[in-house]
Amino acid sequence: MKEDKVSCWEGGPEMSDTLLAQIMTDTLTDKEMNELGSLGYCIIDSLLCEANGPHMPCRTDRLTAVVDMKRYLEIHGYTVVKNNPITTENQHGF
């Protein structure tokens, strides 16, 4: 039986679904693994929008990706704190 391969980017390292599942089940529940899979696709999808030009997603999609990335990190036990909220005065975080 042929096993599907998982790669994070085109030309990137490949890992079998079985190996990926084995690594992830050491620390995560099935529910968390499913959520990570969904979040991963949502993050990628949000960053693919190029409304502002090549490789520059629109603000709404970027911020959606950030919220999803925050949850992705929280599943792995990280705490993410928003220190400097973006306002009209400091849109670039300065």
Total domains in the fold of the chain: 1
Nearest Cα residue to 59 out of 46, 71, 69, 72: 46
Whether 94 maps to a domain, the answer reads no
Quick check: is 88 in a domain? Answer: no
82 in a structural domain: no
Q: What per-residue confidence (pLDDT) applies to 64?
A: 92
pTM, full prediction: 0.59
Q: Is 85 within the bounds of a domain?
A: no
What's the chain's Rg over C-alpha atoms?
16
Q: Which domain holds residue 34?
A: 5-75
Determine the Cα angle at 70 with ends 6 and 74, to 5°: 85
- Residue with more model confidence, 41 or 10: 41
Q: Is residue 51 part of a domain?
A: yes
Residue 91 domain flag: no
Is residue 62 a contact partner of residue 51, using CB atoms and an 8 Å limit?
no
Which residue did the predictor score with more confidence, 21 or 63? 63
Give the pLDDT confidence score for residue 84 in this predicted structure: 74
The tens digit of pLDDT for each residue in 39-91 reads 999 999 988 888 778 878 888 888 999 999 999 999 888 888 888 766 655 55
